[in-house]
Amino acid sequence: MQGKRDRYRPQVISRTDPLRFLSNIFITNQAPLYTTGYSVSLALIWVTALSCTGLLVGLMIENRKRERGDRDWRLETSEADNLGDDHPHFRFTY
């Protein structure tokens, strides 16, 4: 399972690295309303909410496929005893 962890670590870094610009969006001459800063922050909250909702829907769809038996073909492979969360009996929790 080392490969799966190594594949997602750079994705997390590349998705969070652009957030460094947040310190520059609260422009001092816009005080006290900071419309740009709060607009960008609110937009990022919405993007996060939509991403979480998409993940939830994806996990629900995957669990339904596993319940129907659409992933049972994985048990026929040579690595059937070392599938981890790819095992058809594994269910994602949310």
**Residue 71 counted as domain residue:** yes
Six token digits for residue 38: 């709060």
What is the domain count for the chain? 1
> 14 lies in a domain?
no
pLDDT grade, residue 94 (50/70/90)?
Answer: confident
Q: Is the pLDDT of residue 67 over 80?
A: yes
The answer to whether residue 94 is domain-embedded is yes
Of 27, 49, 45, 28, the closest CA to residue 36 belongs to: 27
**Amino acid letter at 84?**
G
Is the pLDDT at 62 greater than 70? The verdict is yes
R_g of the chain, CA atoms, integer Å: 20
**DSSP label at 73?**
G
Determine the pLDDT at residue 1.
47
CB contact burial 3-42 (16+ within 10 A = b; e otherwise): eeeeeeeeeeeeeeeeeeeeeeeeeeeeeeebeebeebee
- Domain interval for residue 77: 54-94
In whole angstroms, give the CA distance from residue 44 to residue 21: 12
